[in-house]
Structure 1
């Protein structure tokens, strides 16, 4: 079997190193930045007994209120089985509850509990010094500039998600 491979070009090849000029460079940088940020934020959440995947669901619940599991999966980039495991974890920890959805016997909405709100707020307090460490290598005004650029990149005009 033979794959359809485009003809050879002179475009730079991806290296993943600083200065990479390949068409993959931006994606590779964003992926590396994500790993770095996720590592730092995981450190903030660890003492609270949750992981980033749990916190991602709590963010959605605080922002949207009770949310059906399929919408949680979409909002967090998870699959059905993965979101069920996360919600199970949150329920076991007393941070979220499943509730019946009026008019739909099969659907369950997930809602954050008062204990979940307390943990959500505590996570922000725990993350503050680590977030400062995350951008410590940037110059004056650069953390705000980075945030602005990433916001515009992640949420193009008209994109509310």
Structure 2
């Protein structure tokens, strides 16, 4: 008995090369751009003694203030164990502290320290030339346009959401 063979695919296959017309092209380009941006920003953070995963938590703490660990995990796209390791690192470096939540000793809230705020600000200064390097191939208005477009992809409106 012959197996059913699907009709030959007529659409382009994903290659991850520039000009790819497959339905995966946007996702592949976003992944490649993320890897490049992460590499460039890692260079900016390295002299400060932190990694992107640490900075991601500091961003959430600066944005939201004291935050429970499970919410940090959700906000950074990490799992609970991963975020706990990052918070352990930040505590060892004096950049964040854990505090118990009144009324529930099992829950810990994480808070950025004054030293963490100083490092956060220093990271922004260190990242400026790296960010310029990252956008060097773009025209004067293109970097802002790219940020606007990526914002719409990353944060769709209710009408556009999946």
**Normalised by the shorter chain, which TM-score bucket?**
over 0.9
1:8 to partner: Cα distance:
4.4
Counterpart CA distance in 2 for 1:7 and 1:113 is 61
Count of equivalent residues: 155
Partner of 1:77: 77
1:6 to partner: Cα distance:
6.9
Partner of 1:140: 140
Deviating more after overlay: 150-159 vs 139-148: 150-159
Counterpart CA distance in 1 for 2:86 and 2:48 is 15
Counterpart CA distance in 2 for 1:46 and 1:6 is 50
Give matches, 1:92-103, under 5 Å: 92-103=92-103
Counterpart CA distance in 2 for 1:38 and 1:149 is 19
TM-score (norm 1): 0.92
Q: Which runs of 5+ in 2 are unaligned?
A: none
1:87 to partner: Cα distance:
0.3
Partner of 2:52: 52
Give matches, 1:9-24, under 5 Å: 9-24=9-24
1:7 to partner: Cα distance:
5.6
**1:77-100 CA distance string (max 9 Å, x none):** 000110010000000000000001
TM-score (norm 2): 0.92
| Deviating 4+ runs (over 2 angstroms) | 5-9
Partner of 1:27: 27
State which structure, 1 or 2, has the greater radius of gyration over its C-alpha atoms: 2
Counterpart CA distance in 2 for 1:6 and 1:122 is 57
User: CA 1:82 to 1:18, structure 2 compared with 1: closer, same or farther past 3 Å?
Assistant: same
Alignment partner of 2:44: what SS? Answer: helix
Deviating more after overlay: 134-143 vs 109-118: 134-143
Give matches, 1:120-159, under 5 Å: 120-158=120-158
**1:29-57 CA distance string (max 9 Å, x none):** 00000000000000000000000000000
Counterpart CA distance in 2 for 1:143 and 1:55 is 22
